[in-house]
Amino acid sequence: MLNLNSNKSIVTILLLVTIIIVTGLAIAWPNFHSQMQVPKNSLSYETLMIGDEPIQPIPLKLDLDEHKVVLGEKLFKDPVLSKNRQFSCVSCHNLKTGGVDGKDLAQGVNGEISLTNTLTVFNSGFNFRQHWTGEYKDLLEQLDAHLLDPQIMGGDWSEILGNVKKDPKYVRGFTQAYSDGITQENIRDAIATFEQSLYTPNSRFDRYLRGNTDALTEAEKEGYQIFKTYGCVTCHQGMNIGGNLFQKFGILGNYFVDRGQINPADLGRFNVTGDPKDLYVFRVPSLRNVTLTEPYLHDGSAGSLEEAIVIMAQYQLRPISSEHIQLIVQFLNTLTGEYEGKPL
Ligand code: HEC
Ligand code: HEC
C-alpha cells in the first residue's frame, strides 16, 4: 500500500517536471530559434538547411527585377551621385577587388580618412544590420548615410535628382522600371536592388555543403572542423558566416588598450545605443570571400588573414597553434564565391 502510494507520487512528480520542461521549451524555443536564423530583409530567400551544419549555402539564384538591377548598377558606378562628381560607390567598393578598396581605412571625397575599414558590398543584403556597428537596419537605410556623408560621397539629393533627370539613359531606364519614373525613392530602391544582386553563390565550400564531398581537400575539411571545434563558428555562422550577431571585440582582454590610441570608432555599438553594455560591441563580420578583402578588422589593423586569426584567437577564444591557423586559412580560402557566374 505504502509502496504503491510512493510510486504514485513519484509518477506525479515526474509528470509535473515533464510538463514544466515542455512548457519552458515551448516558450523559449521561438526566441532561441529566431536568434539563430539569419534575419530576412525585404528580399525573401530560402535558407537551405543541410544536416546540422551551422553554416548554410548562399542561394544559387535570387529573384530580382532585372530592370532595377541594371539601373542600380549604372547609378552605383556613376560619380554623378557625389560632390563635384569625384566619387562613385565603386571608388571604395571596387567589384573587381572583392567589393572593397584594399586600404586600411577608407578615404572619402574630401580626402579625409574615415575611422573604419571599408566593408564589402558583396552579400551585404544577407546581413541582419549594416555597418560595423549595425547602425543601419537595411540597405535602403544605409544608402543615405553614404551618399550624403561629407566624409564619404558628400552628395546632395536636389543635385543628384537634377543630374539624373537630365540623363536620357536614366530617363529611359526609370520609365521602364518604375511607374512614377525618377524620384529620390526610386533611385534609392534601384541602388539597393543592385546591391542585393551582389551575392556570391557556388563557392567550393557551398558545393561541399550541398553534398559534393570532393569540393574540398582533406586539409580544407580539417580547417573547417577546427573552425567549428575551436569556437569560431559560435560567432561566424549562418548563411553569411557572420553578419547575424552582435559580439564584444575583446572578450578575453582589452584589445583596444593593447593596441593603443583608442578612437571614437573603437567604442563600437555604444556609439549607436549609448548603452555601456555595448562598449566595444560590433556586428560579427561576414567571412564570405574573406581572402579577397584584406586588410581586416574595423580598424584595418590586420594586414593578413593569419594576423586576424591570431587576434581572434587571443581576444575572443584562446591561443592557437600556427598549424591550426594555416588550416583555418585554407578553409577560409574555400569561401570565395561567384558573381555573374565567374569566380570573384
Ligand atoms: C570613401 C569610401 C566609400 C564610398 C565612396 C562608399 N562607401 Fe560604402 N563603406 C565604406 C566604409 C568605410 C564602410 C564601413 C562603414 C562602417 O561601418 O563604419 C562601408 C560600408 C558599406 C556598406 C555596409 C556593408 C555591411 O556589411 O554592413 C554598404 C551596403 C555600403 N557601404 C554601400 C555603399 C554604397 C551604395 C555607396 C555609394 C552610394 C558607398 N557605399 C560608397 C566606404 C565607402
Ligand atoms: C565571440 C565572437 C567571435 C569569435 C569566437 C570569433 N570571432 Fe572573428 N570576429 C568577431 C568580431 C566581433 C569581429 C569584428 C572585430 C572588429 O571590430 O574589428 C571579428 C572579425 C574577424 C575577422 C576579420 C573580418 C574582416 O572582414 O575584417 C576574421 C578573419 C575573423 N573574425 C575570423 C575568426 C576566426 C578564424 C575565429 C576563430 C579562431 C574567430 N573569428 C572567432 C567575433 C568573433
Q: What are the structural domains of the chain?
A: 66-196 (1.10.760.10), 204-343 (1.10.760.10)
What's the pLDDT at 84?
Answer: 86
- The bound ligand whose nearest atom lies closest to the alpha carbon of 265 is 1
Other beta carbons within 10 angstroms of residue 11's beta carbon come to 10
Q: What digits encode the pLDDT tens for the residues 147-158?
A: 999 989 999 999
Residue type for position 100:
V
Which of 201, 194, 86 has the alpha carbon at shortest distance from 140?
A: 194
Q: What is the pLDDT of residues 73-84, one digit of tens each?
A: 999 999 999 998
The answer to which of 10-14, 130-134, 237-241, 333-337 has the lowest mean pLDDT is 10-14
Ligand closest to 190 (CA) is: 1
Instruction: Say whether 131 sits in a helix, a strand or coil.
Output: coil
Give the tens place of pLDDT for each residue, 94-129.
999 999 999 999 999 888 899 999 999 999 999 999
User: Which atom of ligand 2 has the smallest separation from the CA of 246?
Assistant: 12
Distance of alpha carbon 194 from alpha carbon 191, whole angstroms? 5
Contact present, 223 and 329 (Cβ < 8 Å): yes
d(CA 285, ligand 2 centre) in Å: 7
pLDDT score, position 45: 47
Ligand 2 centre distance from Cα of residue 236 (Å) = 7
Give the pLDDT mean for 175-197.
97
112, 122, 152: residue to mutate for ligand 1 pocket, most atoms within 8 A of CB: 152
Cβ atoms 215, 204 nearer than 8 A = yes
What ligand 2 atom has the least distance to the C-alpha of 132?
17
Look at 9 and 150; give whichever has higher pLDDT. 150
Ligand that lies nearest to the alpha carbon of residue 110, given by its number in the listed order = 1
Q: Which atom of ligand 2 is nearest to the CA of 283?
A: 12
d(CA 204, CA 336): 7
Quote the cell numbers at residue 290.
574573406
Ligand 2 binding site (Cβ under 6 Å of any ligand atom): 132, 230-232, 234-236, 247, 249, 251, 282, 284-285, 287, 290, 293, 296-298, 305, 308-309, 312-313, 316-317, 328
